[in-house]
Structure 1
Amino acid sequence: MNKAFYIGIGLNSAFTLIEFIVGYSTNSLALIADASHNLSDVASLIISLIGMKLAQKASTTLYTYGYKKASIMASLINAILLVTIVIGIAYEALVDFDTIPEVAGKVIIITALIGVFINTVSAFAFYKGQKDDINVKGAFLHLMVDALVSVGVVISGIIIYYTSWNIVDPLVSLIISVVILLSTWGLLKESIKLAIDGVPQNVDLSKITAILESYKFIQNFHHLHIWALSTTENALTVHIVPKSDVTLEETLIMKENIKEDLAHQNIQHATIEFGIKADDNQKSRALNESIN
């Protein structure tokens, strides 16, 4: 999977530089908008790669969870930067509606077609890994969106080339801004949620509850907490009160079975605490007092 990241970063970095140069030389705001988006994607790929590397590092006495949370913080920073870029692109597009510059449609078409090819190749480098890793899936979908955006720029170039309607350029840049914002909004919301330890998107709380309720040996459970350790790993803690007639052996077996069930619900780290009912607790204290 590292190879896919290197391919994506290399191809998109080179193309982003070309797009910026061509965009500024031809006064194409649509190309500049697409280049800005591609630049953010390059940064996103780099940060995702760093996150994968950090996730492989062992925990320390200072960071007992390791550096897994860094991937969540990175995605939050990426989302905020991307929204900022979108606002800038939209502002420039609105300004250009008043003073529309001459745009070289043929150059835009050629450049954008290269973008369609590069983004499609980069996206399919992640196709296999995106089925098992939500972080890789995000990179895959982001690059596919880029390919579609480049298609939009091609359409803009064709219209300008044959009609000389230069107003299409800022109009397409606005549409691109909306597409980027829509693709980023979900990332921003999820990143904020994970940063404050909300339930991850790939975990269904109702299914977790149903699993716990399905065990006949459980009297009740509480203090159920689910959060993300990283963009790919989730943790859970829960306090379970077993029925009074449940033996220690049955409790231990039940614990392992619950952990196995939770693993199928995207819970990689489960901490399960078993307690006793209030009346049993009183009996235990009375027994301790009689012994003392």
Structure 2
Amino acid sequence: MGHSHHGHDHSHGSATRAFAAVTLINLAYTALEAGYGFYTDSLALLSDAVHNLGDVLGLGLAWAAAALAKRPTTASHTYGWRRATLLSPLANSLLLMAFSGALAWEAVRRFSAPPQIPAMPVVVVAAIGIAINLGAAWFVRDGHAHDLNKRGAFLHLVADAAVSLAAVLAGLGMLAFGWAWLDPLTALLIGVVIAIGTFGLLRDSFNAAMDAVPANIDQAEVAAFLSARPGVAAVHHLHIWPLGAGEIALTAHLVRPDDSEHDAFIDATAHALDDRFGINHATLQIERGRCGHDLHDAAPHAH
């Protein structure tokens, strides 16, 4: 059996610092927004503040996950704590879904008698929120497309900026036309936008937590690639799953009757899996014959 882990610089230290910075920045802004929300009785500001509080909790989870991922392996945690970066976005997305439902419920309740809201404080505070959230998103932008933990934080912050923009527009509408119903309408739209934007993260993070094959990898293509390697007669027990942020694991049994140069074959195959598919933690077992397994074809079997 051969094992190869082609390490990459995942910059866990910089990720931890970025999460710490954006968490503290958002916590300070949430307190400011909530204070003005209570002062003006604006549901748009309060709902955004509640959403931001959820984001602070979510960002705190991402911060903790990035810190846990740096911990070394132990006898009881042989992969270390990398999986925390997969569980964090799952909890993150569940929090967002819960908050979006609460915002929508309160907004619907207020439609019957929307209070008069001083519009200018809503515009000013929400405009500050746009700048803060876009700046914080810039901190965690690197690698967010391939790191669920960073993606969860990035989506939170971009969604917050959009939510703050909606609050600014609502404040301008109330200022220009006196439309008090714009405040609960904005809160309702905020809840809907959060729910829609979070669904993809919830699906992807749940699949990752359940060891699903990463969405950017075609298992059949990997099986065909392994089957076409020199001397390989069959492939079985093929499993592909995410280990953590930026790390994908694979295990497979390869039937290879020619018993020469297996070490060089395993090393070359592991490098090829990394280069072609981004699978950087491959464990390959070489078998010379059937070994009691059913090998009707080269397709992977689920076990």
User: Aligned pair 1:213/2:227, yes or no?
Assistant: yes
Greater Cα offset, 96-105 or 62-71: 62-71
User: Aligned pair 1:276/2:275, yes or no?
Assistant: no
Q: Post-superposition shift, 1:277? A: 2.5
Aligned residue in 1 for 2:274: 263
Q: What does the per-residue CA deviation read over 1:57-113, in whole Å, with 9 as the maximum and x for residues that have no partner?
A: 111112222122223222222222221111111100110111211111111000000
User: Aligned pair 1:105/2:116, yes or no?
Assistant: no
Aligned residue in 1 for 2:102: 88
Counterpart-to-counterpart distance in 1, 2:110 and 2:177: 18
Q: What code does the residue aligned with 2:273 have?
A: L
Counterpart-to-counterpart distance in 1, 2:142 and 2:239: 32
Counterpart-to-counterpart distance in 2, 1:109 and 1:88: 23
Structure 2 unaligned spans of 5+: 1-13, 293-303
The structure that is helix-richer by fraction is 1
Q: What does the per-residue CA deviation read over 1:21-44, in whole Å, with 9 as the maximum and x for residues that have no partner?
A: 111222221112211221122222
Aligned residue in 2 for 1:192: 206
Greater Cα offset, 14-23 or 256-265: 256-265
Q: Is the 8 A contact 1:135 1:232 kept in 2?
A: no
Partner-residue secondary structure (3-state), 2:211: coil
Aligned residue in 2 for 1:38: 52
Q: 1:166 aligns with which of 169, 180, 185?
A: 180
Aligned residue in 2 for 1:149: 163
1:204/1:23 Cα in 2 relative to 1: closer, same or farther (>3 Å)?
farther
Partner-residue secondary structure (3-state), 1:166: coil
Greater Cα offset, 113-122 or 143-152: 143-152
Greater Cα offset, 227-236 or 199-208: 199-208
Q: What does the per-residue CA deviation read over 1:215-272, in whole Å, with 9 as the maximum and x for residues that have no partner?
A: 2421110111111222432211111112x3x2421x3222112211222323221111
1:237/1:214 Cα in 2 relative to 1: closer, same or farther (>3 Å)?
same
Greater Cα offset, 260-269 or 150-159: 260-269
1:161/1:127 Cα in 2 relative to 1: closer, same or farther (>3 Å)?
same
Q: Is the 8 A contact 2:42 2:122 kept in 1?
A: yes
Aligned residue in 2 for 1:285: none
Partner-residue secondary structure (3-state), 1:218: coil
**Larger Rg, first or second structure (1 or 2):** 1
Q: Is the 8 A contact 1:29 1:170 kept in 2?
A: yes
Aligned residue in 1 for 2:27: 13
Q: Is the 8 A contact 1:202 1:266 kept in 2?
A: no
Counterpart-to-counterpart distance in 2, 1:74 and 1:228: 14
1:129/1:200 Cα in 2 relative to 1: closer, same or farther (>3 Å)?
closer
Q: Post-superposition shift, 1:157? A: 0.5
Counterpart-to-counterpart distance in 2, 1:124 and 1:40: 19
Aligned residue in 2 for 1:135: 149
Aligned residue in 2 for 1:53: 67
Q: Post-superposition shift, 1:185? A: 0.9
Q: Is the 8 A contact 2:89 2:149 kept in 1?
A: no
Structure 1 unaligned spans of 5+: 282-292
Q: Is the 8 A contact 1:113 1:154 kept in 2?
A: yes
Q: What code does the residue aligned with 1:189 have?
A: R
